[in-house]
Amino acid sequence: KSFTEPFRPQYHFSPEANWMNDPNGMVYLDGEYHLFYQYYPDSTVWGPMHWGHAVSTDLVHWEHLPIAIYPDKNGWIFSGSAVIDHNNTSGLGSPQNPAMIAIFTYHDPVGEKEGRVDFQTQGIAYSLDKGRTWTVYADNPVLKNPGIKDFRDPKVRWYADSEGNGKWIMSLAVWDKISFYSSPNLLDWTFESDFNPDWAAYGGVWECPDLFPLTDTDGTQKWILFVSINPGGPQGGSATQYFVGNFDGKTFSTESSETLWLDYGADNYAGVTWSNVPESDGRTLFIGWMSNWQYAQIVPTHPWRSATTLPRNLELVKKDNGYLVASRPVKEIEKLRTESITVSGNSFELENELVELLLSPNQEDFKIHISNDKGDRVIIEKSDQELKIDRTQSGFIDFSTEFPAVHNAPLHAIDVKNIRLFIDRSSIEIFINDGELVMTELVFPTFPFTNVNLEGISDSNTLHYLNGIW
Ligand code: FRU
């Protein structure tokens, strides 16, 4: 595999060719992290959806595998999740060889064309050979449409109450709310409750929910609900909001009272967490689609479109004004470091295009200029209690009127202590204070970035050059 095309991400996952959107069905099994994804193998724009597939033993290096799930008589295969049915509740595997079960949305294009409202339903497929081959369940769909157009993106997890009684819980995006369903066996589903507080962000349709517990360093556990929305994100277009609260097996209640965004950049959408991560690992692992529906289908890449974000582990952090979910690049990324340099002064050159930078501000406000000799530049700035990234002169920008913009993120009460930046061939990811504030942004410089200029930043910083993964 060469992966040498212009803008081809060198340490982010992308399909070899053609269109990708949401990551789907992330599940860990026997030493492998599985990544499925919304895939259209016949074009570089969105179309009839399949589940593409890749595996990794370290979340960083990926092996592309054949398409896992194809459209069938019930429709195209939209987003969803995967679980390991350890107790063989479904009867589709055995206790010795539990089934890997994918739960996804069928989108029936015929029903849609006919103007029906019930063309999205939930189906399942299972694999008994570590995700290599899949069998579609004969009695699909397992959850029929109750008469609402947007009824999709099931994220399923096992939930055990304090007596140890367990059941499967499905979070489902239903137009402008999240509906929770329960099941003893992944085959029969019962409606439990809806969640849609009036103060949440409703600029667009709700998509790709995820419900999971997180525990902070004091041992306090909260349940987190992710809801991706498109449009209506803080930078326009798509983004992921989240709620901090409690889930009692039937109902999610939130203690948040304002919209929280997982990532304030323009390009992190539809991300959800891995299931079946071993307790001995204990991390909550996340990956997102590194694009935005505003321009995802017209970005200047060929013969593929879209990549995923860096894999991140999610942490619950208590702040003076409540809890937030921090996203941190997984530690496995550090294996890519090839050369580490202490750079002094406020201006230095980059000799490699794959870069990780660790910076410490020494003033209230700061500015980071990343540029090349062709005049392309990205400016990251903190001022007026906001973090800003300006990609208006970042290189190729005019494929979309929405792409060239300055994106602002409120710092809330965050006092910036450290800045970690990752530069790949067509992306910049900024992590403030170990991921308390994150901005993920696509950029298409006409030439690699070669210069860094700093203001308000300490004059001793760390620069790591990174290896590519392909
Ligand atoms: C989110 C989304 C999902 C849907 C999928 C279709 O980006 O719109 O709601 O299942 O993409 O590809």
In this predicted model, what pLDDT tens digit does every residue of 109-151 receive, in sequence order? 999 999 999 999 999 999 999 999 999 999 999 999 999 999 9
**What pLDDT sits at residue 309?**
99
CA of 270 to the centre of ligand 1 (A): 8
Interatomic CA distance for residues 268 and 266, integer angstroms: 6
Q: Is 51 in the pocket of ligand 1 (CB under 6 A)?
A: no
Q: Is 120 in the pocket of ligand 1 (CB under 6 A)?
A: no
Asked if residue 25 lies in contact with residue 102, where contact means CB atoms within 8 angstroms, the answer is: yes
Mean pLDDT of 204-232: 98
Q: What is the pLDDT of residues 357-384, one digit of tens each?
A: 999 999 999 999 999 999 999 999 999 9
**What pLDDT sits at residue 181?**
98
Interatomic CA distance for residues 312 and 95, integer angstroms: 31
Q: What is the pLDDT of residues 300-344, one digit of tens each?
A: 999 999 999 999 999 999 998 899 999 999 999 999 999 999 999
Helix/strand/coil for 334: helix
Interatomic CA distance for residues 466 and 469, integer angstroms: 9
**What pLDDT sits at residue 1?**
67
Q: What is the pLDDT of residues 2-49, one digit of tens each?
A: 899 999 999 999 999 999 999 999 999 999 999 999 999 999 999 999
Q: Which two tokens stand for residue 360?
A: 């410490």
Query: Does the annotation mark 384 as catalytic?
Result: no
What's the distance, CA 32 to chain centroid?
Answer: 19
Look at the pTM and tell me if it is higher than 0.90. Answer: yes
Mean pLDDT of 82-103: 98
β-pairing, 18-29 vs 304-305, is: parallel
Q: Could you tell me which of 24, 43, 355 has the C-alpha nearest to residue 210?
A: 24
Residue 139's CB is within 10 A of a number of other CB atoms, namely 8
Interatomic CA distance for residues 298 and 468, integer angstroms: 25
Max intra-chain CA distance, the chain: 66
Pocket of ligand 1, candidates 20, 22, 229, 238: which has the most ligand atoms within 8 Å of its Cβ, to mutate? 22
**Partners of 18 in the β-ladder:** 304
Q: Is 306 in the pocket of ligand 1 (CB under 6 A)?
A: no
Catalytic residue, chosen from 22, 263, 267, 390, is 22
Q: Is 152 in the pocket of ligand 1 (CB under 6 A)?
A: yes
Position in ligand 1 atom list of the atom nearest CA 238 = 7
In this predicted structure, the answer to whether residue 238 has a pLDDT above a threshold of 80 is yes
Pocket of ligand 1, candidates 37, 38, 112: which has the most ligand atoms within 8 Å of its Cβ, to mutate? 38
**What pLDDT sits at residue 34?**
99
Pocket of ligand 1, candidates 153, 178, 227, 289: which has the most ligand atoms within 8 Å of its Cβ, to mutate? 153
**What pLDDT sits at residue 2?**
82
Which residue type occupies 297? Q
In this predicted structure, the answer to whether residue 88 has a pLDDT above a threshold of 70 is yes
Interatomic CA distance for residues 336 and 332, integer angstroms: 8
Q: Is 78 in the pocket of ligand 1 (CB under 6 A)?
A: yes
Contacts of 146 (CB under 8 A, 6+ apart): 118
CA of 293 to the centre of ligand 1 (A): 10
In this predicted structure, the answer to whether residue 154 has a pLDDT above a threshold of 90 is yes
Mean pLDDT of 443-469: 97
Q: Work out the mean pLDDT of the chain and round it to a whole number.
A: 97
Helix/strand/coil for 214: strand
Mean pLDDT of 278-288: 97
Q: Is 208 in the pocket of ligand 1 (CB under 6 A)?
A: yes
Interatomic CA distance for residues 10 and 466, integer angstroms: 9
Interatomic CA distance for residues 392 and 400, integer angstroms: 11
What's the distance, CA 165 to chain centroid?
Answer: 31
Q: Which two tokens stand for residue 274?
A: 């891995």
Interatomic CA distance for residues 155 and 170, integer angstroms: 5
